[in-house]
Homo-oligomer: A and B are copies of this chain.
Amino acid sequence: MEASDRDIIAGNAAYYWAFSTRDPDAMARLWSSSAQVTCIHPGWDMLVGYDAVMKSWRDILGNSQSPSIECRNARDFVAGDFGYVLCHEVLDEGVLIATNIFRREDGAWRMVHHQAGPAASALPGPPAPVSGSVH
């Protein structure tokens, strides 16, 4: 694994920005459209394929009940053109923990998979995403 990659941390931050601003177009752009993408929303089954994942985002982001979300404690793990970011997701209802997998396509990190589930507990951490790991 390589040294911490600011670009993948930025890609991860873009995901949470699109989520928190409920911007389905931004969300659609940051996912890979060439790869088979997958997503496991909390309490959902796995979604496979760009169309299924984008439909889920349109439903979630278009729902006025969808939660606010803030990313904390992001750490990246990169090997070549593939990498993943682990982070906490702070919502009104509690804290989740996420695995976000990215693939570098034409120089840009694009999301290929997301899973979030309950974290151990509310966790302290700086409000901005932080790149922490050096491998």
Contact = CB atoms under 8 A, between A and B. Distances in A.
A46 B97 contact: yes
Interface residues of chain A: helix, strand, loop or mixed (majority): strand
Contacts of A112: 1, 77
Given A40-B97, A40-B99, A118-B118, A113 B45 contact: no
Tell me the number of copies of this protein.
Answer: 2
Interface in A20-64: 35-36, 38, 40, 42-46, 48
Contacts of A97: 40, 45-46, 115
Contacts of A113: 77, 84, 86, 99
A133 interface: yes
Contacts of A79: 35, 81-82, 103
Given A40-B86, A77-B112, A99-B99, A135 B35 contact: yes
A24 B47 CA distance: 32
